[in-house]
Amino acid sequence: MKKILVFIVCLLALPINVFALGASSHAITVMDMDSNRILYNKNANERMLIASTTKIMTAIVAIESGKINDMVKVDDSVLKAYGSGIYIKPGEEISLLDLTYGLMLRSGNDAAMMIATYVSGSVEDFAKVMNDKAQKIGMKNTVFYNPHGLDEETENKSTSYDMALLMSYAMKNDIFKKIVGTKSYKVTTNKNSYVWKNKNKLLFTYEYTTGGKTGFTDKARRTLVTTASKDNLNVTVVTLNDPNDFKEHKEAYEYVFNNYTKYKVLNKDTFEVKNNKYNSKLYIKNDYYYPIKDSEKDKFSINVKLEKDKKKIKNNIAGIVEVYFDNKIVHEENVYIESNSNNNKKGFFSKILGWFK
C-alpha cells in the first residue's frame, strides 16, 4: 500500500505541459476579421515596436491613394533605404502596384521609400497620412514615423490589437488581399526583370492561409501578421516579439477552427417583428454572422427600435435592430418598411380609367 501511495505522489510531482496559445510571444491577438471579435489575446494593448509589419499600412495607403496604376520613375530617395529590398535603381520605371507587390512579398525598404515619396511627396507627409488612417480605423495606441518599420532613427509603435484591426480592415480591399495572398510575382521594368517569392512561409505550409506580413529588427525581434480562412471563419493573428511565430500562428488558427463556428444571428429571410404597428412588412437586407463556441449561443439578445413618428421614416428605414452578445452591442442593422403606397392609392386618372373597364 505504501508503494502505491509513493507512486501516485511521484506522478503528481512530474511537470505537466499545458498547451497555451502564444506561449513564446510577448503579445498576441487572435481576431475574427468580419466582426473584430477577439478570440484570444495576451498583452494585446501593450505598445511595442512592429518592424516591417508597418508595411501593411504603407500598402493600404498606396492602394487607396488613387494612384495604384500610375507608372513611377524611381528617384534618389531609394538610395536612403537599407536592409531588405527589391533593389530598384534611380531612373527605373515601375508601376505603383508593382512597388506594392515588392513591398509586401519581399519587404522592400526601397519600395517603401519610393511609395512614400511618390504618393505624398515626402516620408514625413506620408507618415501623416498613415497616422490619420490609423485613427480612422480605431488604432488608438499606434504611431507611425516611417513607411518601412526600421527603428534605428525613428520608431513605429503599435499593439497586437491595433495591428489586428489594421489587417482586418486591409483584407477587405480586393487589391490588398490579392497582393498578400500571392506566392510569387514577376515584374519587368525598363531596366530589369524580377521574380519575387513571398516571405510568408505559412502561404506554403498551411493550406488555409490567405495573406500576411513578416517583420524583424534587432530591437523589435520577430513580428508577424497573418490571415487564414476556413468554413466561413476569417481570422487574423498578430504576434509581437515571438521567436516561434509561424508555429504559433498555425496553432492559433487550429484552435479557432476547431472551437468556433460562424453563427447566423440575423436571417433576412425569416426576420420578423412581433407587434408590428405598421401596416407593411418590416425587413432587413443582410444576414449577420458572429463567431461563437457551441456553449455561447444563449448569450445573444436582439432589440428592435422603431421610429414612433411615421413622418420621420426616410428612405423606407423604419428603425434598427441591435444585436447584443454577452450584454454588449456587437452589431446594428437597418430595419426597412415595405412601401405599399402604390397598391393602396391610385391616381385620379387611373380611377377614371378604371370606371370604363
Q: Which residues are catalytic?
A: 52, 55, 107
Nearest-angstrom CA–CA distance, 150 and 355: 82
Nearest to 127 by CA among 106, 148, 109, 107: 148
Pair 104, 212: CB distance under 8 Å: no
Residue type (1 letter), 247: K
Strand partners, 158: 48
Residue 144 DSSP one-character state: -
Nearest-angstrom CA–CA distance, 81 and 104: 16
Nearest-angstrom CA–CA distance, 152 and 344: 73
Instruction: Name the strand (E) or helix (H) holding 160.
Output: helix 160-170
Q: How far is CA 232 from the centre of its chain?
A: 15
